[in-house]
Structure 1
Amino acid sequence: MNAAMNAPMNNVGVTADKDTGVAVVTLDRPGKLNAIDLAMAGELQEVWRGLRFDDSVRAVVLTGAGERAFCTGLDRDAAVPQPNSPYMQDDPLLRIGPKANDLWKPVVAAVEGMACGGAFYLLGECEFVVAGADAAFFDPHTTYGMVSAYESMLMAQRMPYGEVARMMLMGTAERIGARRAYEVGLVSELTEAGGALAAAVACAGVIAGCPAEGVQGTVRALWAAKEAALAQGFAQAPHLISLGNLPADRQAELFAGRRAGGYRVR
């Protein structure tokens, strides 16, 4: 891919091929399994809003650097001060997705390795997901005494109820493998390990070859079909989180006591 556009950022990489009209956005913290800190959250907002004004980009691929993870959600070291009220909560991940930043160009996710927790904020706002054979999806919230609210609501738009309920309620005890994710519809195309990015770029190239107005209108129409339900659910999320989350020190205690290898892949 020609590096025709490069964003001067530390945590998010952007390259664009002016010939194909496809941009690749890369979460670039592989040493942290592409966990999202506050700096990366801010950079993602800048990227999505910047792509709104670049007419040479007609489709986008979102991926993660390295082989181990697409994204593992919010960085545990990120300090997010919260108001002392169940009615006012600051969630830095609510503004990291393309739709949340009013970008109506199609976004295809390319997933290798782990995608868990806050990664679903991003996957939930992509048009479809391409995954390598080693991809795995799970949500650790319940294991650590936290409510999976926004993540569950977003994935409930992509998977059968029983499947998303099982994934969210099982916590770290179980991971959905790439094959199972494909079978239940979370993943639209399954590739060999390491092949997700190339396949996603190929799909994006086909989409970018269509007239942009029709494509963007279709993206907006697809999102309109589910945004009302999401808005209703999101309105309840802060209260559910406030009522159900354990205190931060207890969450940290559970996280510190986690056991490596204590899960199965389904």
Structure 2
Amino acid sequence: MSLRISTYEDTGVAVITLDRPKRLNAIDLDTAAELAAIWRALRYDDSVRAVVLTGAGERAFCTGIDRDAVVPQPDSPYMQDDPLLTVGPKANDLWKPVVAAVEGMACGGAFYLLGECEFVVAGAGAEFFDPHTTYGMVSAYESVLMAQRMPFGDAARMMLMGSAERIGARRAHEIGLVSELTETGGALAAAEACAAVIAGYPAEAVQGTVRALWSAKEAARAQGFAQAPHLISLGNLPPDRQAELFAGRRSGGYRVR
């Protein structure tokens, strides 16, 4: 198993941990399937009233799709398989509140997860970035999700600057991507404390509020997602060229703001 789930009956909180620290908690196909299964199972577990999502280790919350994952694609620009589209709670019809606890890197496909959490708590060492453009890939779904969580200019800068720049935890807090900033290593405890408060309220009222909040965003997100497959088909470099750019990446060639 590449995930760990801990449930606390006394608080009504479940903690889901991406548990692939040696791969910086990147999501392979098995992990994607496990995430979808867990979210759907939590729909039926009334003892869990709030959820915390985090990553194992200190280096990363999640670094998106595992580079070794092989995802066969239909031979058509009108059809596309993206395993990350089903890794989030809302994609699996879970309307219980989910709080993200971020330490270290959160980048690329991690935004499929952060984009479907109610809010984000981050340690002081957290960093957010999207390397897609650097490696000849269109940031489509990620851009749609982050444009709904950040001021447009900050989202555009993060997506277009690629791996050359990272948004530090303090800046992420200033622009509202992160709702609470803790000392390094403190994000999980702070997220659990928030989740425990929420879980203590009547579940029907909480879940109705979650649903109401997301109804304000659904139309714009659906329109953006509808464009994404075509933009990816048109804008992505061939996989072999992407691999060349990734293999030639420079280490340390970025700045944090």
The match for 1:100 among 67, 91, 96 is 91
Q: State the shift of 1:84 in Å.
A: 1.0
Equivalent residue for 2:193?
Answer: 202
Equivalent residue for 1:90?
Answer: 81
Q: State the shift of 1:137 in Å.
A: 0.1
Q: TM-score, normalised by structure 2?
A: 1.00
Deviations 1:33-62 (A, max 9, x none): 000000000000010001110000000000
Deviations 1:177-209 (A, max 9, x none): 000000000000000000000000000000000
Q: State the shift of 1:15 in Å.
A: 0.5
Equivalent residue for 1:238?
Answer: 229
Measure, in 2, the Cα distance between the counterparts of 1:144 and 1:189: 32
Name the SS of the counterpart of 1:90 in structure 2.
Answer: coil
Equivalent residue for 2:117?
Answer: 126
Equivalent residue for 2:144?
Answer: 153
Aligned amino acid, residue 222 of structure 1:
L
Residue 228, structure 1, aligned to residue 223, structure 2: no
Q: What is the total number of aligned residue pairs between the two structures? A: 257
Aligned amino acid, residue 178 of structure 2:
V
The list of structure 1 runs, each at least 4 consecutive aligned residues, that deviate by more than 3 angstroms after superposition, is none
Deviations 1:81-136 (A, max 9, x none): 00111110000000000000000000000000000000000000000000000000
Aligned amino acid, residue 209 of structure 1:
G
Q: TM-score, normalised by structure 1?
A: 0.96
Measure, in 2, the Cα distance between the counterparts of 1:86 and 1:120: 24
Measure, in 2, the Cα distance between the counterparts of 1:113 and 1:16: 24
Aligned amino acid, residue 24 of structure 2:
L
Unaligned runs of 5+ in 1: 1-9
Measure, in 1, the Cα distance between the counterparts of 2:152 and 2:222: 18
The match for 1:54 among 45, 51, 59 is 45
Unaligned runs of 5+ in 2: none
Equivalent residue for 1:188?
Answer: 179
Aligned amino acid, residue 105 of structure 1:
K
Name the SS of the counterpart of 1:258 in structure 2.
Answer: coil
Q: 1:6-17 alignment to 2 at 5 Å?
A: 10-17=1-8
Measure, in 2, the Cα distance between the counterparts of 1:199 and 1:107: 13
